[in-house]
Amino acid sequence: MNTLKRKMIFFVVGARPNFIKVAPLLRNLNDSKDFDFKLIHTGQHYDKMMSSVFFDDLNVNAPDYNLNIHGGSQNTQIAKIMLAFEEICSRDNPNYIFVFGDVNSTLAASITAKKMNIPLIHYEGGLRSFDREMPEEINRLMCDSVTDYFFCTEDSAINNLLNEGKNPDKIFLVGNLMIDSLFYQVNKSNSNTNEEDYAVLTMHRPSNVNDTKKLKKLVEILNEIAKSIKIIFPVHPRTKKAICSFELDDNIVMINPLGYNDFTELWINSKFVITDSGGIQEETTALKIPCLTIRDNTERPITVNQGSSTIVGSNRVKILSNVYDILNKKYKVSEVPKYWDGNSANRILKIMKSLKS
Protein backbone atom coordinates (compact mmCIF):
# COMPACT_ATOMS: atom_id res chain seq x y z
CA MET A 1 0.00 0.00 0.00
CA ASN A 2 1.00 3.61 -0.49
CA THR A 3 2.96 4.75 2.56
CA LEU A 4 2.46 8.46 1.97
CA LYS A 5 0.20 10.38 4.32
CA ARG A 6 -1.91 11.51 1.38
CA LYS A 7 -3.84 8.49 0.14
CA MET A 8 -3.88 7.62 -3.55
CA ILE A 9 -7.19 7.06 -5.35
CA PHE A 10 -7.36 5.40 -8.74
CA PHE A 11 -10.48 6.50 -10.66
CA VAL A 12 -11.26 4.04 -13.44
CA VAL A 13 -13.37 5.21 -16.39
CA GLY A 14 -14.15 3.65 -19.73
CA ALA A 15 -17.32 5.12 -21.23
CA ARG A 16 -19.08 8.44 -21.70
CA PRO A 17 -21.21 8.32 -18.51
CA ASN A 18 -18.12 7.55 -16.41
CA PHE A 19 -16.37 10.68 -17.67
CA ILE A 20 -19.33 12.84 -16.68
CA LYS A 21 -19.48 11.33 -13.20
CA VAL A 22 -15.77 11.53 -12.39
CA ALA A 23 -15.38 15.17 -13.42
CA PRO A 24 -16.85 16.77 -10.24
CA LEU A 25 -14.61 14.58 -8.06
CA LEU A 26 -11.48 15.55 -9.97
CA ARG A 27 -12.28 19.25 -9.83
CA ASN A 28 -12.85 19.03 -6.08
CA LEU A 29 -9.64 17.06 -5.53
CA ASN A 30 -7.33 19.49 -7.30
CA ASP A 31 -6.57 21.30 -4.03
CA SER A 32 -7.06 18.36 -1.67
CA LYS A 33 -4.76 17.98 1.34
CA ASP A 34 -5.95 14.44 1.97
CA PHE A 35 -5.75 12.63 -1.36
CA ASP A 36 -3.71 12.24 -4.48
CA PHE A 37 -5.41 10.71 -7.49
CA LYS A 38 -4.85 9.28 -10.92
CA LEU A 39 -7.38 8.90 -13.71
CA ILE A 40 -7.22 5.66 -15.67
CA HIS A 41 -9.09 5.51 -18.98
CA THR A 42 -9.41 1.95 -20.22
CA GLY A 43 -10.17 3.02 -23.78
CA GLN A 44 -13.55 1.25 -23.91
CA HIS A 45 -15.01 4.31 -25.65
CA TYR A 46 -12.25 5.44 -27.96
CA ASP A 47 -13.90 7.56 -30.67
CA LYS A 48 -13.04 11.23 -30.15
CA MET A 49 -16.69 12.26 -29.87
CA MET A 50 -17.35 9.46 -27.39
CA SER A 51 -14.20 10.00 -25.34
CA SER A 52 -11.51 12.70 -25.43
CA VAL A 53 -13.84 15.60 -26.20
CA PHE A 54 -15.61 14.95 -22.90
CA PHE A 55 -12.50 15.69 -20.87
CA ASP A 56 -12.23 19.07 -22.60
CA ASP A 57 -15.91 19.84 -22.16
CA LEU A 58 -15.89 18.88 -18.49
CA ASN A 59 -12.79 20.93 -17.67
CA VAL A 60 -10.65 18.07 -16.38
CA ASN A 61 -7.14 17.04 -17.33
CA ALA A 62 -6.44 14.19 -19.70
CA PRO A 63 -6.16 10.73 -18.08
CA ASP A 64 -2.90 9.79 -16.38
CA TYR A 65 -3.11 6.41 -18.09
CA ASN A 66 -4.94 5.34 -21.23
CA LEU A 67 -4.97 1.57 -21.62
CA ASN A 68 -6.26 1.85 -25.22
CA ILE A 69 -8.27 -1.37 -24.92
CA HIS A 70 -11.36 -1.52 -27.11
CA GLY A 71 -13.17 -3.83 -29.46
CA GLY A 72 -13.39 -7.59 -29.26
CA SER A 73 -15.89 -9.63 -27.28
CA GLN A 74 -16.92 -8.53 -23.80
CA ASN A 75 -14.82 -11.27 -22.20
CA THR A 76 -11.79 -10.38 -24.28
CA GLN A 77 -12.15 -6.73 -23.39
CA ILE A 78 -12.51 -7.44 -19.67
CA ALA A 79 -9.52 -9.80 -19.64
CA LYS A 80 -7.26 -7.31 -21.43
CA ILE A 81 -8.26 -4.48 -19.09
CA MET A 82 -7.58 -6.65 -16.05
CA LEU A 83 -4.06 -7.50 -17.22
CA ALA A 84 -3.16 -3.91 -18.10
CA PHE A 85 -4.73 -2.47 -14.96
CA GLU A 86 -2.97 -4.98 -12.71
CA GLU A 87 0.36 -3.78 -14.05
CA ILE A 88 -0.44 -0.15 -13.19
CA CYS A 89 -1.68 -1.06 -9.70
CA SER A 90 1.48 -3.07 -9.00
CA ARG A 91 3.60 -0.09 -10.00
CA ASP A 92 1.71 2.72 -8.26
CA ASN A 93 0.17 1.01 -5.19
CA PRO A 94 -3.16 2.88 -4.87
CA ASN A 95 -4.97 2.99 -1.53
CA TYR A 96 -8.42 2.88 -3.16
CA ILE A 97 -9.85 1.90 -6.50
CA PHE A 98 -12.97 3.89 -7.37
CA VAL A 99 -15.27 2.60 -10.13
CA PHE A 100 -18.46 3.89 -11.70
CA GLY A 101 -21.67 2.34 -12.93
CA ASP A 102 -21.88 -0.91 -14.84
CA VAL A 103 -19.62 -0.97 -17.91
CA ASN A 104 -17.08 -3.69 -18.67
CA SER A 105 -14.25 -1.46 -17.44
CA THR A 106 -15.92 -1.28 -14.03
CA LEU A 107 -16.14 -5.05 -13.70
CA ALA A 108 -12.55 -5.56 -14.86
CA ALA A 109 -11.15 -3.02 -12.40
CA SER A 110 -13.29 -4.42 -9.57
CA ILE A 111 -12.02 -7.97 -10.00
CA THR A 112 -8.44 -6.70 -10.22
CA ALA A 113 -8.86 -4.65 -7.05
CA LYS A 114 -10.04 -7.59 -5.00
CA LYS A 115 -7.41 -9.98 -6.36
CA MET A 116 -4.81 -7.43 -5.22
CA ASN A 117 -6.50 -6.69 -1.86
CA ILE A 118 -7.05 -3.03 -2.68
CA PRO A 119 -10.21 -1.48 -1.13
CA LEU A 120 -12.90 -1.02 -3.78
CA ILE A 121 -15.43 1.81 -3.93
CA HIS A 122 -18.42 1.47 -6.25
CA TYR A 123 -20.30 4.61 -7.14
CA GLU A 124 -23.89 3.70 -8.15
CA GLY A 125 -23.68 0.56 -6.07
CA GLY A 126 -26.95 -1.30 -5.62
CA LEU A 127 -28.77 -0.22 -8.77
CA ARG A 128 -30.72 -3.14 -10.23
CA SER A 129 -32.87 -3.66 -13.31
CA PHE A 130 -33.58 -7.31 -12.27
CA ASP A 131 -33.04 -8.27 -15.90
CA ARG A 132 -30.13 -10.68 -16.18
CA GLU A 133 -30.25 -10.60 -19.95
CA MET A 134 -28.70 -7.13 -19.71
CA PRO A 135 -24.88 -7.32 -19.69
CA GLU A 136 -24.86 -4.27 -17.44
CA GLU A 137 -26.93 -6.07 -14.80
CA ILE A 138 -24.38 -8.89 -14.62
CA ASN A 139 -21.61 -6.33 -14.26
CA ARG A 140 -23.50 -4.59 -11.44
CA LEU A 141 -24.12 -7.81 -9.53
CA MET A 142 -20.56 -9.07 -9.87
CA CYS A 143 -19.02 -5.72 -8.96
CA ASP A 144 -21.19 -5.33 -5.87
CA SER A 145 -20.31 -8.85 -4.73
CA VAL A 146 -16.72 -7.70 -4.08
CA THR A 147 -17.21 -3.99 -3.30
CA ASP A 148 -16.02 -2.66 0.07
CA TYR A 149 -17.84 0.71 0.08
CA PHE A 150 -21.06 1.51 -1.75
CA PHE A 151 -21.92 5.07 -2.79
CA CYS A 152 -25.60 5.13 -3.77
CA THR A 153 -27.67 7.58 -5.78
CA GLU A 154 -31.13 6.58 -4.54
CA ASP A 155 -32.91 4.70 -1.75
CA SER A 156 -33.85 1.74 -3.95
CA ALA A 157 -30.15 0.95 -4.35
CA ILE A 158 -29.67 0.92 -0.58
CA ASN A 159 -32.65 -1.40 -0.14
CA ASN A 160 -31.26 -3.75 -2.80
CA LEU A 161 -27.89 -3.94 -1.08
CA LEU A 162 -29.44 -4.57 2.33
CA ASN A 163 -31.62 -7.32 0.85
CA GLU A 164 -28.46 -8.88 -0.55
CA GLY A 165 -26.90 -8.95 2.90
CA LYS A 166 -24.43 -6.07 2.57
CA ASN A 167 -23.11 -4.32 5.70
CA PRO A 168 -25.18 -1.15 6.27
CA ASP A 169 -22.09 0.59 7.71
CA LYS A 170 -20.50 0.39 4.26
CA ILE A 171 -23.46 1.90 2.38
CA PHE A 172 -23.84 5.67 1.84
CA LEU A 173 -26.49 7.77 0.12
CA VAL A 174 -24.47 10.47 -1.63
CA GLY A 175 -26.65 11.88 -4.40
CA ASN A 176 -25.85 11.94 -8.08
CA LEU A 177 -22.54 12.99 -9.65
CA MET A 178 -24.20 13.15 -13.06
CA ILE A 179 -26.28 16.02 -11.71
CA ASP A 180 -23.18 17.75 -10.32
CA SER A 181 -21.80 17.86 -13.87
CA LEU A 182 -25.15 18.87 -15.31
CA PHE A 183 -25.55 21.86 -12.99
CA TYR A 184 -21.91 22.83 -13.59
CA GLN A 185 -22.61 22.94 -17.32
CA VAL A 186 -25.97 24.71 -17.01
CA ASN A 187 -24.48 27.39 -14.73
CA LYS A 188 -21.74 28.26 -17.22
CA SER A 189 -23.95 28.02 -20.28
CA ASN A 190 -24.80 31.13 -22.25
CA SER A 191 -27.50 29.50 -24.34
CA ASN A 192 -31.00 30.88 -24.57
CA THR A 193 -34.12 28.77 -24.82
CA ASN A 194 -34.54 27.53 -28.38
CA GLU A 195 -37.71 28.87 -29.96
CA GLU A 196 -38.05 25.84 -32.24
CA ASP A 197 -39.98 22.86 -30.89
CA TYR A 198 -38.13 19.58 -31.21
CA ALA A 199 -37.54 16.29 -29.41
CA VAL A 200 -34.22 14.53 -28.88
CA LEU A 201 -33.69 10.83 -29.50
CA THR A 202 -30.84 8.62 -28.27
CA MET A 203 -30.78 4.87 -28.86
CA HIS A 204 -27.86 2.49 -28.49
CA ARG A 205 -28.71 -0.55 -26.34
CA PRO A 206 -28.35 -3.96 -28.00
CA SER A 207 -31.88 -4.88 -26.89
CA ASN A 208 -33.17 -2.18 -29.23
CA VAL A 209 -30.50 -1.92 -31.89
CA ASN A 210 -29.57 -5.57 -32.45
CA ASP A 211 -33.16 -6.84 -32.59
CA THR A 212 -34.15 -6.09 -36.19
CA LYS A 213 -37.86 -6.68 -35.59
CA LYS A 214 -37.96 -4.37 -32.58
CA LEU A 215 -35.84 -1.73 -34.30
CA LYS A 216 -38.18 -1.71 -37.29
CA LYS A 217 -41.14 -1.27 -34.94
CA LEU A 218 -39.44 1.62 -33.14
CA VAL A 219 -38.56 3.32 -36.44
CA GLU A 220 -42.20 3.12 -37.52
CA ILE A 221 -43.30 4.73 -34.22
CA LEU A 222 -40.64 7.43 -34.50
CA ASN A 223 -41.76 8.21 -38.04
CA GLU A 224 -45.27 8.70 -36.73
CA ILE A 225 -44.06 11.04 -33.96
CA ALA A 226 -42.06 13.00 -36.52
CA LYS A 227 -45.30 14.03 -38.21
CA SER A 228 -46.01 16.21 -35.15
CA ILE A 229 -42.56 17.35 -34.06
CA LYS A 230 -39.02 17.43 -35.35
CA ILE A 231 -36.73 14.76 -33.83
CA ILE A 232 -32.99 15.37 -33.55
CA PHE A 233 -31.05 12.13 -33.36
CA PRO A 234 -27.33 12.11 -32.41
CA VAL A 235 -26.46 8.66 -33.72
CA HIS A 236 -24.33 6.25 -31.71
CA PRO A 237 -21.97 4.30 -34.04
CA ARG A 238 -23.68 0.98 -33.26
CA THR A 239 -27.10 2.44 -33.99
CA LYS A 240 -26.01 4.06 -37.24
CA LYS A 241 -24.83 0.72 -38.57
CA ALA A 242 -28.07 -1.03 -37.60
CA ILE A 243 -30.53 1.62 -38.74
CA CYS A 244 -29.14 2.28 -42.21
CA SER A 245 -31.52 -0.25 -43.81
CA PHE A 246 -34.65 1.61 -42.61
CA GLU A 247 -36.26 4.68 -44.09
CA LEU A 248 -36.56 7.57 -41.65
CA ASP A 249 -39.01 10.44 -41.96
CA ASP A 250 -37.46 13.68 -43.21
CA ASN A 251 -38.39 15.29 -39.90
CA ILE A 252 -35.97 12.93 -38.09
CA VAL A 253 -32.60 14.64 -38.35
CA MET A 254 -29.63 12.36 -37.79
CA ILE A 255 -26.45 14.09 -36.62
CA ASN A 256 -23.03 12.91 -35.47
CA PRO A 257 -22.45 12.19 -31.77
CA LEU A 258 -21.97 15.36 -29.75
CA GLY A 259 -19.60 16.30 -26.96
CA TYR A 260 -21.01 16.81 -23.48
CA ASN A 261 -21.52 20.56 -23.74
CA ASP A 262 -23.22 20.46 -27.12
CA PHE A 263 -25.43 17.50 -26.25
CA THR A 264 -26.51 19.11 -22.97
CA GLU A 265 -27.40 22.31 -24.80
CA LEU A 266 -29.44 20.24 -27.24
CA TRP A 267 -31.62 18.28 -24.85
CA ILE A 268 -32.18 20.94 -22.17
CA ASN A 269 -33.93 23.04 -24.83
CA SER A 270 -36.04 20.18 -26.16
CA LYS A 271 -39.73 19.50 -25.57
CA PHE A 272 -38.93 15.93 -24.51
CA VAL A 273 -36.36 13.16 -24.85
CA ILE A 274 -36.78 9.59 -26.09
CA THR A 275 -33.94 7.39 -24.88
CA ASP A 276 -32.70 4.00 -23.74
CA SER A 277 -29.91 5.60 -21.70
CA GLY A 278 -29.89 5.33 -17.92
CA GLY A 279 -27.93 8.54 -17.45
CA ILE A 280 -30.28 10.65 -19.53
CA GLN A 281 -33.19 9.41 -17.41
CA GLU A 282 -31.40 10.99 -14.45
CA GLU A 283 -30.41 14.22 -16.15
CA THR A 284 -33.90 14.90 -17.49
CA THR A 285 -35.35 14.21 -14.03
CA ALA A 286 -33.05 16.84 -12.49
CA LEU A 287 -34.33 19.49 -14.92
CA LYS A 288 -37.92 18.21 -15.03
CA ILE A 289 -37.88 17.49 -18.75
CA PRO A 290 -40.21 14.70 -19.97
CA CYS A 291 -38.32 11.52 -20.80
CA LEU A 292 -39.80 8.50 -22.58
CA THR A 293 -37.60 5.49 -21.83
CA ILE A 294 -37.71 2.91 -24.62
CA ARG A 295 -36.84 0.00 -22.35
CA ASP A 296 -38.93 -2.57 -20.49
CA ASN A 297 -37.25 -1.83 -17.14
CA THR A 298 -34.85 0.55 -15.44
CA GLU A 299 -32.18 0.22 -12.80
CA ARG A 300 -33.01 3.80 -11.81
CA PRO A 301 -36.63 3.50 -10.57
CA ILE A 302 -36.52 6.86 -8.81
CA THR A 303 -36.57 8.55 -12.23
CA VAL A 304 -39.97 6.92 -12.81
CA ASN A 305 -41.43 6.91 -9.28
CA GLN A 306 -40.40 10.45 -8.51
CA GLY A 307 -38.87 11.92 -11.64
CA SER A 308 -39.92 12.78 -15.17
CA SER A 309 -39.25 9.44 -16.89
CA THR A 310 -41.89 7.01 -18.14
CA ILE A 311 -41.07 3.44 -19.15
CA VAL A 312 -42.69 2.89 -22.54
CA GLY A 313 -40.65 0.03 -24.05
CA SER A 314 -41.52 -0.40 -27.72
CA ASN A 315 -45.27 -0.15 -27.02
CA ARG A 316 -46.78 2.02 -29.72
CA VAL A 317 -49.84 3.03 -27.69
CA LYS A 318 -47.78 4.00 -24.62
CA ILE A 319 -45.28 5.98 -26.63
CA LEU A 320 -47.78 7.89 -28.72
CA SER A 321 -50.16 8.61 -25.83
CA ASN A 322 -47.31 10.06 -23.77
CA VAL A 323 -46.11 12.15 -26.70
CA TYR A 324 -49.67 13.45 -27.04
CA ASP A 325 -49.74 14.35 -23.33
CA ILE A 326 -46.40 16.15 -23.58
CA LEU A 327 -47.36 18.16 -26.65
CA ASN A 328 -50.68 19.08 -25.01
CA LYS A 329 -49.04 19.95 -21.66
CA LYS A 330 -50.76 17.11 -19.79
CA TYR A 331 -47.61 15.20 -18.85
CA LYS A 332 -46.90 14.61 -15.16
CA VAL A 333 -44.92 17.15 -13.13
CA SER A 334 -41.77 15.65 -11.63
CA GLU A 335 -39.82 16.19 -8.43
CA VAL A 336 -36.05 16.26 -7.96
CA PRO A 337 -34.77 13.41 -5.74
CA LYS A 338 -32.96 13.98 -2.47
CA TYR A 339 -29.30 15.02 -2.80
CA TRP A 340 -29.55 15.55 -6.56
CA ASP A 341 -28.39 19.09 -5.85
CA GLY A 342 -24.93 19.46 -7.36
CA ASN A 343 -23.06 18.69 -4.12
CA SER A 344 -22.55 14.93 -4.39
CA ALA A 345 -18.78 15.18 -4.93
CA ASN A 346 -18.41 17.08 -1.66
CA ARG A 347 -20.37 14.40 0.20
CA ILE A 348 -18.31 11.60 -1.29
CA LEU A 349 -14.96 13.16 -0.42
CA LYS A 350 -16.12 13.93 3.12
CA ILE A 351 -17.07 10.25 3.58
CA MET A 352 -13.79 9.09 2.08
CA LYS A 353 -11.82 11.12 4.63
CA SER A 354 -13.53 9.11 7.37
CA LEU A 355 -12.86 5.65 5.91
CA LYS A 356 -10.67 3.42 8.05
CA SER A 357 -8.87 1.42 5.35
Return the active site residues.
204
Distance CA 182, CA 26 (A): 15
CA–CA dist 319, 310 (Å, integer): 9
Q: What's the rounded Cα separation, in Å, for the pair 88 and 283?
A: 33
CA atoms of 108 and 241, how far apart (whole Å): 27
Please say whether the beta carbons of 144 and 122 come within 8 A. Answer: yes
Find the distance separating the first CA and the last CA of the chain, reported in whole Å: 10
DSSP line for 65-128: EE-----S-HHHHHHHHHHHHHHHHHHH--SEEEEETTSHHHHHHHHHHHHTT--EEEETTT--
CB within 8 A of 342, min separation 6: which ones? 179, 180, 182, 183, 184
